[in-house]
Chain A
Amino acid sequence: MALTRREFIKVTGLGLAASSLGMLGFGAAGVAQAAAVRPFKLTHATETRNTCTYCSVACGILIYSMGDRAKNARSNIIHIEGDPDHPVNRGTLCPKGTALLDVVHAPTRLKAPRYRPPGGTEFKEVSWDFALDRIAKLMKEDRDKHFIARNAAGTTVNRWTSTGMLAASASSNETAYLTWKVARSLGMVVFDNQARV
């Protein structure tokens, strides 16, 4: 039988004749379990292929979410497990990867931009427009004030040394590339990533 993993789950879950399930290697208890548990958990879920966000083994993972991705439906991730097809991890995950669901739904996930004014004692929620307008204004003020177009010898150097940036080591290459473009077009040189830690 040439079935993908997902089809396999669907087929077994939808309760084919017991004989064909037996052919798949299920005992009677297994049949009952497959019929009751697996379909509940996975058949109605959407499966998405992803990569573990932690170390650089880059284990393949399968993310299961509820919701069919219709325009007005909001997906909710309910389960994450190792991708058995992945040539490196072959379905396994470590104590960190196994708990990925808990970091996706961590109570300390941030949900709105927050701002703390000078001398402030707490954060307050602000709009994205407020935050980004203000950040752009502060960056421009500093850049215009401290941008070094020429060094002491009169050589063109076009660098900005008074605002710096650290880039994310779990972000995608595409995010990295866009970030590089923005930072360097501003002339930013105090610019680094997590390669060293």
Chain B
Amino acid sequence: MTNTWQDIKNANLVIVMGGNAAEAHPCGFKWVIEAKIENGAKLVVVDPRFTRTASVADYYAPIRPGTDIAFLSGVIRYLLEQDAIQHQYVRAYTNASLVVKEGFAFENGLFSGYNEETHSYDRSSWDYELDEQGFAKSDDSWQHPRCVINLLRQHVSRYTPETVSRICGTPQDKFLHICGLIAATAAPDKAMTSLFALGWTQHSVGSQNIRTMAMIQLLLGNIGVAGGGMNALRGHSNIQGLTDVGLLSNLMPGYLNLPLDKETSLDEYMKTKQYKPLRPGQTSYWQNYRKFVVSLQKAIYGDAATQDNNWAYDWLPKLDVPMYDIIRAFEMMNNGQLTGYICQGFNPLQAFPDRGKIRRGLSKLKFLVTMDPLDTETSRFWQDFGPQNPARSAEIQTEVFQLPTTCFAEENGSLVNSARWLQWHWKAAEAPGEAMSDIWIMSGIFHRLRELYRKEGGAFPDPILNLTWKYTDPVEPDPEELAREMNGRALADLTDPATGAVLTKAGTLLDGFAQLRDDGTTASGCWIFSGSFTEKGNQMARRDATDPREQGIAPNWAWAWPANRRILYNRASADQDGKAWNPAKPIIEWNGSRWEGIDVPDYGPTVKPSDGVGPFIMNAEGMGRLFARDLMADGPFPEHYEPLESPVENVLHPKVRSNPVARVFASDRAAFGTPQHYPYVATTYRLTEHFHFWTKHALINAILQPEEFVEIGEVLAKEKGIEQGGWVKVSSKRGEVVCKAYVTKRIKPLLVDGKPTHVIGVPLHWGFTGQARKGYGANTLTPSVGDANTQTPEFKAFLVNVEKTGAPAA
């Protein structure tokens, strides 16, 4: 989230698309109701199902799963055609005026630079035209045919209301009504907030779904302001934190990239990370990248990371592919390329697409380790549970270790919520039996490995032997010590380069990342968390809920990254002179000598408005990007591509039907079905009574929603003779689920390109362990393909067939 949960109350319009906050995030959704009651806000919901969020909406429109980009590109076209954009904001704060290189083109569904063999783009033409000093050229008159706003206008011109309706199945009048509501927030003092979740990410075009809305928000001047922003409602309690700390295949803590093979030295690695400003006088904060990397290496390897060994750069593993994501991991497993797999609090047999493939992959491992408080399906993949998990145990040679861990109530530590708040929590009781913390288990494995390498030697032991482990209790390090290590400290006296005066004494915990250096005199395990645990104590444990101006900030409650900033890009909440666009809800304003307000400025605190420094300080041009340059795998502008399994052709460019840079493994492609055999669109979702595959272990939740079902519209049910509560067989090319049908008015057939199209809802909570009844799991049906940028699996749009069937034998 760019903003906070409570800040939603400041919105004039709330759009929920790609999510279902009322059911999936109920206690956050109350702030939408607050906006409606106290701020007169309107709620708009666009969803394939009439969800509980839709039931309290002021306006609802249906949409075919997987067509959000067409809908939102149509909105952009409407805004540009009606001139309903916030002109001053767009001109000053976005790259609308910048001129794109000659050679950039978009034709027949492909951007310039496409390579058919590698299914990837040479993105060199996706950039600005530079002047002699290396700055991007700009045309403030917007006359240049290649300035971003004109290229965008041209790109979205195809998304007329007729075309949007043809692709999405959304009736034109409903689409246009929503366009009108959105357009009204172009007024400088009006804001729309976008709330979304996995309904946007779990597509082969997931990143671009979100990007299209972000572009709308920039055009409307809704980024950085109270009641605005792009608000990803994240799923798990600390998925934000795990991502922040870099537990992704291609990342290091604080969104630093893991090096690639071609980056043979630290200097080579840094070459693509200099982030020289692209416009005069811009901040381009990533210029400090080297400080973050060197400080990380000092935290990880301590004295062993020296200038002479390039801060132990060679000890970092290098990537030969963009990422070893989970879809790739299971492909490797199925190909016999993985020996061992460790699942820490993760249940891939339930969570990852094409369950059959997951089960076959696990069967090929030499060993599997699970660490979990609960008895997960993954840890029992080798055991026969009937049709829900058929297995021939004797033939499966995998050694399995099921390790019991503590749960949330039995540990101290911090979690990062959707709004980037780091909140500390405390242990209430010991874990049952012999269950131990993940910290104890990881330490135990590490110490044994280190001891073996000390004694026996082996492959490249240096990073293992030199990993810092200076904890008071090395067997189970105290979370507070780990938190301090992430915050960072001075390793030597830090002096003012001008005067030589000591600014920070050696050994002192740092106040923030501004103190980090690239000469080895500072250490910080996660630069964006710097400031969370200072000499003043654990900032994450703060509990002062005071809210200046009652505007939903609560700056002294816990701590938010970065720098305790609650609303990202908040400089953009004020105009070029530093006055709030919305005088009723200012965040920060220029008082003549500095920026002041209710939040930490996302900007130099004393940078004068007249200096012309852009509000998007992390971007090299200082501006919000309507044109993404070369940063997205599938194009600098979003484009509608059909899901990999789709009932229709791509009406915009039949030859390029789906995302041309989606990575599809051959065996997965062979498992895609066609509409001839699987005529219905399916989409997965979550129920308000359940959380993923955990709550079926909790008695109350297992009673509330005890068994697997699918949701089928009345028209289709009638056509197929399916009764309310009757048994059905739902199948995709990958597998079948036998469960009960919930016949509903909440899903109605959509008219897509002239043909009625049925959508089936598949909730995903059941498996074969826990207290609920046994289920097959929605991932039995889903295809193994991910978003072209992130490899997030396409769970939200795929093809199935459904047939009436008899009750299974008891």
List residues of chain A with CB under 8 Å of any chain B CB: 46, 48-60, 63, 65, 67, 74-77, 80, 82, 85-89, 92-100, 102-104, 106-123, 128, 131-140, 142-144, 146-147, 149, 151, 153, 155-182, 184-197
The 8 closest A-B pairs by CB, nearest first: A168-B345, A111-B433, A172-B413, A110-B404, A58-B417, A136-B448, A102-B698, A169-B236
Are B409 and A50 neighbours in the complex by a CB distance under 8 Å? Answer: yes
Q: Please name all residues of chain B whose beta carbon is closer than 8 Å to the beta carbon of A108 when the two chains form the complex.
A: 374-375, 697, 769-771
Q: Please name all residues of chain B whose beta carbon is closer than 8 Å to the beta carbon of A196 when the two chains form the complex.
A: 201-202, 325-326, 786, 790-793
B130 at the interface (CB under 8 A from A): no
Cα distance, A144 to B339, chains bound together (Å): 12
Are A174 and B479 neighbours in the complex by a CB distance under 8 Å? Answer: yes
Contact among B328, B404, B408, B697 with A111 in the assembled complex (CB-CB below 8 Å): B404
Q: How far is the CB of B138 from chain A (nearest CB, A)?
A: 36
Contact among B246, B332, B438 with A168 in the assembled complex (CB-CB below 8 Å): B438
Q: How far is the CB of A68 from chain B (nearest CB, A)?
A: 12
Q: How far is the CB of A61 from chain B (nearest CB, A)?
A: 9
Q: Please name all residues of chain A whose beta carbon is closer than 8 Å to the beta carbon of B426 when the two chains form the complex.
A: 48-50
Q: Please name all residues of chain A whose beta carbon is closer than 8 Å to the beta carbon of B412 when the two chains form the complex.
A: 172
Q: Which residue of B lies closest to A60 (CB)?
A: B423
B439 at the interface (CB under 8 A from A): yes
Are B445 and A139 neighbours in the complex by a CB distance under 8 Å? Answer: yes
Are A169 and B701 neighbours in the complex by a CB distance under 8 Å? Answer: no
Q: How far is the CB of B534 from chain A (nearest CB, A)?
A: 16
Q: Please name all residues of chain A whose beta carbon is closer than 8 Å to the beta carbon of B341 when the two chains form the complex.
A: 163-166
Are B438 and A179 neighbours in the complex by a CB distance under 8 Å? Answer: yes
Are A121 and B394 neighbours in the complex by a CB distance under 8 Å? Answer: yes
Are B404 and A112 neighbours in the complex by a CB distance under 8 Å? Answer: yes
Q: Considering the complex, which residues of chain B in the window 326-372 have a beta carbon less than 8 Å from any beta carbon of chain A? A: 326, 328-329, 332, 337-346, 348, 351-352, 366-367, 369, 371-372
Q: Please name all residues of chain A whose beta carbon is closer than 8 Å to the beta carbon of B449 when the two chains form the complex.
A: 136, 139-140, 186
- The answer to whether residues A174 and B435 also contact, given A104-B409, A185-B464 and a CB cut-off of 8 A, is no
Are A99 and B28 neighbours in the complex by a CB distance under 8 Å? Answer: no
Cα distance, A176 to B526, chains bound together (Å): 11
Contact among B233, B247, B366, B383 with A56 in the assembled complex (CB-CB below 8 Å): B233
Q: Which residue of A lies closest to B313 (CB)?
A: A156
Contact among A52, A56, A182, A192 with B234 in the assembled complex (CB-CB below 8 Å): A56
Are B338 and A162 neighbours in the complex by a CB distance under 8 Å? Answer: yes
Cα distance, A116 to B786, chains bound together (Å): 33
Contact among B234, B338, B397, B793 with A118 in the assembled complex (CB-CB below 8 Å): B397
Q: Please name all residues of chain A whose beta carbon is closer than 8 Å to the beta carbon of B393 when the two chains form the complex.
A: 119-121
Are A188 and B5 neighbours in the complex by a CB distance under 8 Å? Answer: no
Q: How far is the CB of B413 from chain A (nearest CB, A)?
A: 3
Contact among A56, A174, A187 with B413 in the assembled complex (CB-CB below 8 Å): A174
Contact among A56, A88, A110 with B374 in the assembled complex (CB-CB below 8 Å): A110
Q: Please name all residues of chain A whose beta carbon is closer than 8 Å to the beta carbon of B395 when the two chains form the complex.
A: 119
Q: With contacts A103-B694, A110-B405, A182-B445 known, what are 9 further pairs, Cβ within 8 A?
A: A58-B421, A77-B428, A95-B704, A109-B435, A111-B433, A133-B448, A166-B341, A175-B413, A189-B319
- The answer to whether residues A136 and B458 also contact, given A119-B396, A168-B346, A185-B300 and a CB cut-off of 8 A, is no
- Subset of 19 A-B contacts with CB under 8 Å: A48-B409, A75-B428, A88-B417, A94-B27, A98-B700, A103-B407, A104-B407, A109-B404, A109-B697, A110-B404, A111-B404, A112-B434, A118-B398, A138-B339, A166-B346, A168-B242, A169-B346, A172-B414, A177-B482
Are A175 and B688 neighbours in the complex by a CB distance under 8 Å? Answer: no
Q: Please name all residues of chain A whose beta carbon is closer than 8 Å to the beta carbon of B463 when the two chains form the complex.
A: 158, 184-187
B183 at the interface (CB under 8 A from A): no
Q: Which of B25, B236, B261, B262 has the most CB of A within 10 A?
A: B236
- The answer to whether residues A63 and B428 also contact, given A162-B337, A173-B413, A174-B414 and a CB cut-off of 8 A, is yes
Contact among B375, B383, B428 with A48 in the assembled complex (CB-CB below 8 Å): B428
Are B261 and A93 neighbours in the complex by a CB distance under 8 Å? Answer: no
Q: Please name all residues of chain A whose beta carbon is closer than 8 Å to the beta carbon of B401 when the two chains form the complex.
A: 113-115, 131, 134-135
Cα distance, A189 to B322, chains bound together (Å): 11
Are A138 and B402 neighbours in the complex by a CB distance under 8 Å? Answer: no
Are B261 and A155 neighbours in the complex by a CB distance under 8 Å? Answer: yes
Are B437 and A175 neighbours in the complex by a CB distance under 8 Å? Answer: yes
Q: Please name all residues of chain A whose beta carbon is closer than 8 Å to the beta carbon of B417 when the two chains form the complex.
A: 51, 56-58, 88
Q: Considering the complex, which residues of chain B in the window 450-492 have a beta carbon less than 8 Å from any beta carbon of chain A? A: 452-453, 456, 458-460, 463-464, 467-468, 477, 479, 482-483, 485-486
Q: Please name all residues of chain B whose beta carbon is closer than 8 Å to the beta carbon of A175 when the two chains form the complex.
A: 411, 413, 437-439, 442, 479
Q: How far is the CB of A123 from chain B (nearest CB, A)?
A: 6
- The answer to whether residues A169 and B414 also contact, given A113-B404, A178-B482, A181-B300 and a CB cut-off of 8 A, is no
Cα distance, A151 to B238, chains bound together (Å): 35
Q: Which residue of A lies closest to B258 (CB)?
A: A189
Are A89 and B27 neighbours in the complex by a CB distance under 8 Å? Answer: yes
How big is the B interface, by class? 35 or more
Cα distance, A63 to B430, chains bound together (Å): 13
B612 at the interface (CB under 8 A from A): no
Q: Which of A48, A52, A106, A142 has the most CB of B within 10 A?
A: A106
Are B247 and A179 neighbours in the complex by a CB distance under 8 Å? Answer: yes
Contact among B243, B367, B448, B557 with A87 in the assembled complex (CB-CB below 8 Å): B557
Cα distance, A159 to B24, chains bound together (Å): 39
Q: How far is the CB of A79 from chain B (nearest CB, A)?
A: 10
- The answer to whether residues A92 and B30 also contact, given A112-B404, A170-B408, A196-B326 and a CB cut-off of 8 A, is yes
B114 at the interface (CB under 8 A from A): no
Cα distance, A185 to B320, chains bound together (Å): 18
- The answer to whether residues A97 and B27 also contact, given A58-B417, A177-B525 and a CB cut-off of 8 A, is yes
Are A190 and B28 neighbours in the complex by a CB distance under 8 Å? Answer: no
B427 at the interface (CB under 8 A from A): yes
Cα distance, A135 to B387, chains bound together (Å): 31
- The answer to whether residues A56 and B458 also contact, given A171-B242, A196-B325 and a CB cut-off of 8 A, is no
- The answer to whether residues A194 and B792 also contact, given A166-B342, A189-B324 and a CB cut-off of 8 A, is no
Are A56 and B236 neighbours in the complex by a CB distance under 8 Å? Answer: yes
Q: How far is the CB of A73 from chain B (nearest CB, A)?
A: 10
Q: Please name all residues of chain B whose beta carbon is closer than 8 Å to the beta carbon of A137 when the two chains form the complex.
A: 452
Contact string, B640-666, partner A, CB cutoff 8 A, digits 1/0? Answer: 000000000000000000000000000
Q: How far is the CB of A12 from chain B (nearest CB, A)?
A: 23
Contact among B318, B352, B366, B464 with A138 in the assembled complex (CB-CB below 8 Å): B366
Q: How far is the CB of B373 from chain A (nearest CB, A)?
A: 6
Q: How far is the CB of A173 from chain B (nearest CB, A)?
A: 5
Are A51 and B237 neighbours in the complex by a CB distance under 8 Å? Answer: yes
Are A164 and B701 neighbours in the complex by a CB distance under 8 Å? Answer: no
Q: Please name all residues of chain A whose beta carbon is closer than 8 Å to the beta carbon of B580 when the two chains form the complex.
A: none
- The answer to whether residues A179 and B460 also contact, given A52-B237, A194-B236 and a CB cut-off of 8 A, is no
Cα distance, A173 to B525, chains bound together (Å): 11
Q: Which residue of B lies closest to A112 (CB)?
A: B434
Q: Please name all residues of chain B whose beta carbon is closer than 8 Å to the beta carbon of A131 when the two chains form the complex.
A: 401, 403
Q: Which residue of A lies closest to B480 (CB)?
A: A174
Cα distance, A55 to B713, chains bound together (Å): 29
Are A158 and B460 neighbours in the complex by a CB distance under 8 Å? Answer: yes
Q: Which of B28, B438, B459, B689 has the most CB of A within 10 A?
A: B459
Cα distance, A146 to B407, chains bound together (Å): 34
Contact among A116, A123, A138, A173 with B422 in the assembled complex (CB-CB below 8 Å): A173
Cα distance, A123 to B400, chains bound together (Å): 9
Q: Please name all residues of chain B whose beta carbon is closer than 8 Å to the beta carbon of A65 when the two chains form the complex.
A: 428-429
Q: How far is the CB of A150 from chain B (nearest CB, A)?
A: 10
Q: Which residue of A lies closest to B380 (CB)?
A: A123
Are B689 and A96 neighbours in the complex by a CB distance under 8 Å? Answer: yes
Q: Considering the complex, which residues of chain B in the window 373-397 have a beta carbon less than 8 Å from any beta carbon of chain A? A: 373-375, 382-383, 393-397
B84 at the interface (CB under 8 A from A): no
Cα distance, A67 to B559, chains bound together (Å): 31
Cα distance, A103 to B407, chains bound together (Å): 9
- The answer to whether residues A114 and B402 also contact, given A103-B694, A173-B422, A191-B324 and a CB cut-off of 8 A, is yes
Q: Please name all residues of chain A whose beta carbon is closer than 8 Å to the beta carbon of B344 when the two chains form the complex.
A: 165-168, 171, 179
Are A194 and B239 neighbours in the complex by a CB distance under 8 Å? Answer: yes
Cα distance, A41 to B27, chains bound together (Å): 25
Are A173 and B529 neighbours in the complex by a CB distance under 8 Å? Answer: yes
B6 at the interface (CB under 8 A from A): yes
